[in-house]
């Protein structure tokens, strides 16, 4: 590892990736917990939608607040702080006795999640060599699939037998891990160097995002983030519940979602390979179009086999696109506003995460067909794909400044 200021790409990937995996475990379990709470607390479709949405409101606030903080107090400190916040929130939510208390804890958990993801990808982007940067950030995202797999396994084996509270307590384990992280994780060398050169205020940083120099990238990122987050949380938080609506038992729906989740891993690994070979725009556009087509066929599927194939392809393309998005976002800005730029793009995107589950909840309550709901997500993802195609600039092998 050399001196304390250096860290190998592999070790950094492992440290940041484990944090990412715990985040995904929490979000992944939430979709199963919502399905369990519907039975236990007799929740309406609208109330189920609000659980997902309050999580995203917290993520929007967290991405904004901690993105700005990352350019002030450093990537490392914010990374540890956000991990602690969501871990403690997860453990505490196991003791919630009503929907209102549960929603308060979901907001706190969301703040931690929302702040951690863009800050971790920024830290990794700034700490690895240019020629490996895209691949390593996509591989960082692949830990998300690992977290979802752990979530699906816990949900399948733990929730039906021991209850959702035990599952939430298991997800609080990262609090201890976050404290361990503090021991020898150095901050981003680019942030350390830039901090010594110049200081700008929060408002100056935000103004720079919309300057002539960066305005186009900012507009492009905000649109893509909104479309991707809106469709992802709308579709994936409702997956187990949608399977139940299509006539499968709760246990059977958990089983099918677990199989679909496995498809996320090849989605990431292929995206990681393509991103350095063909570029960021190629990966984002192709994988988003693949997501849109899969979403349409998932919504209209009228047989179990078609539902499974569409669901597997949906996981494959959607999570590959996420990997591309996290690699692409920090590369749009110089170091002094990188945390702010990535955080605000993610924060604006989380507004889509608020609306997605709510839209599904209200449309289900209105007896709208699943095919129409998934067609809305199909269109949303296509808007994101064409925004990257026409407004995005290729950043493959671009030196960060």
Q: Write the Ramachandran bin of 2: left for phi over 0, alpha for psi from -120 to 50, otherwise beta.
A: left
Residue at token pair 């499974």: 308
Q: How many CB atoms lie within 10 A of CB 176?
A: 11
Of residues 150 and 216, more confidently modeled: 216
Note the pLDDT tens digit of each residue in 130-178.
888 889 989 998 898 888 888 888 888 898 889 999 999 988 887 777 7
pTM, 2 dp = 0.86
Report CA torsion sign: 400, 346, 132, 26. Answer: positive
**1 pLDDT more than 60:** no
Q: Which of 159, 192, 182 shows the shortest CA–CA distance to 28? A: 159
Tell me the C-alpha distance between 86 and 278, whole Å.
36
Q: Using CA atoms in the order 170, 254, 100, 165, what is the torsion angle rounded to 10 degrees?
A: -30
Note the pLDDT tens digit of each residue in 303-344.
888 888 998 999 999 989 999 999 999 999 999 999 999 999
pLDDT band at 4 (very low <50, low <70, confident <90, very high): very low
**209 pLDDT more than 50:** yes
Cα distance from N-terminal residue to C-terminal residue, the chain: 24
- Residue 236: the pLDDT is 80
Tell me the C-alpha distance between 100 and 18, whole Å.
30
Residue ranges of the domains in the chain? 9-179+187-391
- Average model confidence (pLDDT) across the chain: 87
82-86, 341-345, 347-351: which range is least confident on average?
A: 82-86
Tell me the C-alpha distance between 339 and 66, whole Å.
8
- Residue 6: the pLDDT is 54
Environment class of 197 (CB within 10 Å of its CB; exposed 0-12, middle 13-18, buried 19+): exposed
Mean pLDDT value across residues 212-222: 96
Apex 259 CA angle, 256 and 265, nearest 5: 150
- Residue 3: the pLDDT is 39
**2 pLDDT more than 50:** no
Residue at token pair 């066929």: 297
Of residues 218 and 8, more confidently modeled: 218
CB 58 within 8 A of CB 106: yes
CB 257 within 8 A of CB 152: yes
- Residue 235: the pLDDT is 87
Note the pLDDT tens digit of each residue in 43-61.
888 888 788 788 889 999 9
**36 pLDDT more than 90:** no
5-14, 285-294, 343-352, 375-384: which range is least confident on average?
A: 5-14
- Residue 234: the pLDDT is 87
- Residue 128: the pLDDT is 87
Note the pLDDT tens digit of each residue in 93-124.
999 989 999 999 999 999 998 999 899 889 99
Most confident of 158-167, 358-367, 375-384: 375-384
**256 pLDDT more than 80:** no
**181 pLDDT more than 80:** no
Per CATH, the architecture of 9-179+187-391 is what? Up-down Bundle (1.20)
- Residue 285: the pLDDT is 97
- Residue 275: the pLDDT is 93
Most confident of 131-135, 217-221, 256-260, 316-320: 217-221
**251 pLDDT more than 50:** yes
pLDDT band at 257 (very low <50, low <70, confident <90, very high): confident
Of residues 397 and 229, more confidently modeled: 229
């Amino acid at each position: 590892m050399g001196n304390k200021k250096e860290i190998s790409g592999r070790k950094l990937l492992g440290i940041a990736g484990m944090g990412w995996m715990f985040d995904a475990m929490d979000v992944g379990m939430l979709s199963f917990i919502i399905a369990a709470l519907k039975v236990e607390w007799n929740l309406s479709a609208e109330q189920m939608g609000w659980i997902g949405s309050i999580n995203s409101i917290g993520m929007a606030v967290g991405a904004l607040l901690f993105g700005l903080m990352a350019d002030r107090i450093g990537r490392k400190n914010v990374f540890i702080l956000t991990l602690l916040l969501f871990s403690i929130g997860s453990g505490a939510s196991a003791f919630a006795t009503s929907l209102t208390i549960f929603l308060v804890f979901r907001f706190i958990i969301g703040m931690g999640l929302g702040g951690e993801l863009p800050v971790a990808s920024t830290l990794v982007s700034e700490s690895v060599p240019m020629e490996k940067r895209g691949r390593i950030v996509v591989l960082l995202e692949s830990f998300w699939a690992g977290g979802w797999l752990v979530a699906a396994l816990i949900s399948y084996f733990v929730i039906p037998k021991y209850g959702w509270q035990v599952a939430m307590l298991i997800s609080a384990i990262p609090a201890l891990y976050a404290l361990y992280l503090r021991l020898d994780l150095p901050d981003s060398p680019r942030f350390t160097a830039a901090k010594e050169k110049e200081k700008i205020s929060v408002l100056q940083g935000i103004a720079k995002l919309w300057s002539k120099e960066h305005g186009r990238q900012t507009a492009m990122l905000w649109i893509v983030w909104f479309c991707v987050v809106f469709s992802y949380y709308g579709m994936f938080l409702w997956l187990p519940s949608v399977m139940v609506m299509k006539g499968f038992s709760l246990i059977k729906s958990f089983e099918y979602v677990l199989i679909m989740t496995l498809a996320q891993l090849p989605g990431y690994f292929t995206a990681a390979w393509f991103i350095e070979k063909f570029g960021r725009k190629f990966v984002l556009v192709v994988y988003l179009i693949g997501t849109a087509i899969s979403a349409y066929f998932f919504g209209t599927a009228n047989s179990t086999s078609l539902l499974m194939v569409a669901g597997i392809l949906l996981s494959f393309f959607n999570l590959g696109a996420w990997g591309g998005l996290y690699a692409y976002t920090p590369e749009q800005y110089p170091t002094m506003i990188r945390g702010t730029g990535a955080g605000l793009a993610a924060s604006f995107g989380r507004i889509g995460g608020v609306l997605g589950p709510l839209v599904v909840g209200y449309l289900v309550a209105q007896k709208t067909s699943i095919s129409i709901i998934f067609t809305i997500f199909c269109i949303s993802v296509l808007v994101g794909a064409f925004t990257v195609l026409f407004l995005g600039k290729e950043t493959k092998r671009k030196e960060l400044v």
